[in-house]
Amino acid sequence: MAIHDFVLQSRETTIELHEIHLSSKNKNALNQLLKEFKHVAVLNHYKLPIDNKLLLFGHTGCGKTTTAKAIAKTLNKKIITLNLGSIVSSKLGETAKNISDVFKKATRESAVLFLDEFDYIGKARDYDSKDSAEMKRLVNTVIQLIDQLPNEVLLIAATNHSSVIDTALLRRFQLKLQFEAPSDADLDIYYQTLSQEFPEEFRGVNPIYGISYAEAKDITYRALKNKIIEKEELNSQLQNG
């Protein structure tokens, strides 16, 4: 299969990095990363490496993918997204070649390479023993590809299960940012932020807590849509009445 069969294309509008609800620690780390890329030429002159390998891990639905896209937008770079869950196959030799091709594409285009479900390589170690040697070769291939990345390419990997990833792979990432489930106070702010973009008559979402930002977004938009549709149907009834 060709490279484009594995690279994911998103049609979603990418939000700005400052619009994402990040912890202070994560904001500071990302601001430092962005500054390094802004001044990559002078840092290259002094032969100083860029922190261009970033691991995003933690609770599902809390902004890892959104953050990766926003970083690429801020850097004005193309983002190449590869879901390892869909590319790792029983033919691990082919998998290694396909991953290598995507790394080469990212290097040629000086892009942001986003590897989603990065833990899938770790999980694949649970295959039966006859595949263990081939799996080890795949992990070694990925390690070599990461080590050979030029400064201008930013690698972002995301996982909900960092504990299963090979420690040798984890060591390659200079930055590791944890994404935690939002608190009730965080969700209150998020509900309000989402709702305030709409007319006041449609606001007033019944908040649900103990969920992710992604789930809160779905709940908010569903409530807003219901109120908008209710108004439209009422207006239609009045006009036809």
Q: Do 175 and 57 lie in a common domain?
A: yes
Rounded Cα gap, residues 241 and 235, in angstroms? 10
SS3 58: strand
Q: Do 133 and 22 lie in a common domain?
A: yes
Rounded Cα gap, residues 203 and 55, in angstroms? 36
User: And the tokens for 19?
Assistant: 């619009």
Query: Burial level of 56, CB count in 10 A (0-12/13-18/19+)?
Result: buried
- pLDDT score of 2: 53
CB within 8 A of 237, min separation 6: which ones? none
Residue found under tokens 């770079």: 77
Q: Do 150 and 54 lie in a common domain?
A: yes
Number of CB atoms found within 10 A of residue 217's CB: 15
Number of CB atoms found within 10 A of residue 187's CB: 22
Say if pTM beats, i.e. exceeds, 0.85: no
SS3 194: helix
Q: Do 127 and 208 lie in a common domain?
A: no
Cβ(36)–Cβ(43) below 8 Å: yes
Cβ(79)–Cβ(111) below 8 Å: yes
**Domain hosting residue 119, numbered range:** 17-179
Per-residue pLDDT of the chain (241 residues; tens, 9 = 90+): 555 555 655 545 578 999 898 989 999 999 999 999 999 999 999 999 999 999 999 988 889 999 999 999 999 999 999 998 888 776 777 888 889 999 999 999 999 999 999 998 866 555 555 567 777 888 899 999 999 999 999 999 999 998 888 889 999 999 999 999 889 999 999 999 999 989 999 988 899 999 989 899 999 999 999 999 998 999 888 887 6
Strands 154-159 and 53-58: parallel
Domain count, the chain: 2
Cβ(92)–Cβ(131) below 8 Å: yes
- Classify residue 111 by its DSSP letter: -
SS3 86: helix
Domain assignment present for 188: yes
Q: Do 115 and 223 lie in a common domain?
A: no
113 sits in which H/E element: strand 112-116
Query: Among 136, 151, 179, which residue terminates a domain?
Result: 179
Q: Do 124 and 214 lie in a common domain?
A: no
User: And the tokens for 239?
Assistant: 């006009």
- pLDDT score of 67: 96
- pLDDT score of 121: 84
Residue found under tokens 């449609």: 202
Q: Do 172 and 194 lie in a common domain?
A: no
Domain assignment present for 6: no
